[in-house]
Amino acid sequence: MKLLASPAVKVGISISIATGLYGISFGALAVTSGLNIWQTMALSLLLFSGGSQFAFIGVVAGGGSGIAAMSAATLLGMRNGIYGMQLNALLRPTGWRKYIGAQLTIDESTATSTGQADPDEQRRGFWAAGVGVYVLWNLFTVVGALAGSGLGDPKQWGLDGAAVAAFLALLWPRLKGREPIAIAAVCAVATVLAVPFVPPGVPILVAAVVAAFVGWFSHGRRDEGLEPDFEPYAGHGHGHGHQRAAGGKLPGAPGAEGTEPGAGA
């Protein structure tokens, strides 16, 4: 198998397993937050973006309306548009590959692809991670949903605590440096302050507006917060923000700061 000799495919497969496994927690939390199994599966099959899916069920679990859940999920999905632009510049997909590739455009497939230096490896990395995560994420979503619906009282099992932990774990890899921590703190405070005044679910959207404001007026790293949930190249040195900047650098993009060319190789 020549394909398995490709370093990008190897990374893609291992990231697929790591990400796929946490589909279990998504499936279980989705059904305990009030979605039925079909709705849970629809999110993994059609929406297919971990952060957005957790956001959707997180809002529903807190008593938020469908429209608030949809809004939070959609705002979190904006970064996939940025990834799409990067990947389009990097891989130049044509025809059906564009439309299928778009659905597979998520944190993990982008990070696996942009972490490679060779164009063929970038392509293999994207498809290996994209298809791999899609298949396993959906498989484990069903496993989690079936397990979750058989649990009885979810609170007794601490599943509301599991949701808290899941969101903190999604946030954690993005808190690199003082500025993202400050943004997280400001948004956390904004959320708490908004809670008594607006309907459930809306405080999350208030925080999103605050965060967008910060992004508009401040001048930090341009890829801040665009770290993947799982770092595909964790074993190869650190500072993947730099790898991302090197591998995913757009043609003519000014100063990917502090990056030596080819760091992602």
Partner 1 sequence: MSLWIWLLVACALAYAWKIVGYFVPARFLEDPRTSRIAGTMTIGLLASLTVVNAVVSGQGLAADARLGALAAAGIALALRAPFLVVVIAGAGAAALLRFLGWN
Subset of residues 22 to 81 that bind partner 1, contact rule: CB under 8 A: 22, 24-25, 35, 39, 42-43, 46-49, 51-52, 54-56, 58-63, 65-67, 69-70, 72-81
Closest to partner 1 by CB, 166 vs 263, is 166
Write down the least CB distance from residue 21 to partner 1, Å.
Answer: 6
Closest to partner 1 by CB, 66 vs 261, is 66
Write down the least CB distance from residue 244 to partner 1, Å.
Answer: 11
What are the counts of helices (DSSP H) followed by strands (DSSP E) for the chain? 13, 0
Rounded Cα distance between 144 and 31, Å, is: 9
Tokens of 237: 């040195």
- CB–CB of 19/136 below 8 Å? yes
Stretch that binds partner 1, among 5-13, 14-22, 117-125, 130-138 (CB under 8 A): 14-22
**The residue to which tokens 């979605």 are assigned:** 35
- CB–CB of 71/205 below 8 Å? yes
Q: Does 96 bind partner 1 (CB under 8 A)?
A: no
Taking residues 161 to 180 in sequence order and writing x for each that binds partner 1 by CB under 8 A, - otherwise, the string is: xxxxxxxxxxxx-xx----x
Closest to partner 1 by CB, 21 vs 37, is 21
- CB–CB of 106/49 below 8 Å? yes
- CB–CB of 48/57 below 8 Å? no
Tokens of 140: 């484990």
Closest to partner 1 by CB, 86 vs 113, is 86
Rounded Cα distance between 249 and 33, Å, is: 39
Residues 100-159, interacting with partner 1 (CB under 8 A): 101-103, 105, 155-159
Closest to partner 1 by CB, 9 vs 35, is 35
Write down the least CB distance from residue 218 to partner 1, Å.
Answer: 8
Rounded Cα distance between 261 and 244, Å, is: 11
Residues 183-222, interacting with partner 1 (CB under 8 A): 183-188, 190-192, 195-196, 199-200, 203-204, 206-208, 210-212, 214-216, 218, 220, 222
Write down the least CB distance from residue 4 to partner 1, Å.
Answer: 24
**The residue to which tokens 């040195």 are assigned:** 237
- Of 46, 62, 96, whose CA–CA distance to 199 is shortest? 62
Q: Using CB under 8 A, pick the residue from 82, 131, 146, 265 that binds partner 1.
A: 82
**The residue to which tokens 């030596």 are assigned:** 260
Residues 234-263, interacting with partner 1 (CB under 8 A): 250-254
Rounded Cα distance between 98 and 113, Å, is: 15
Closest to partner 1 by CB, 124 vs 221, is 221
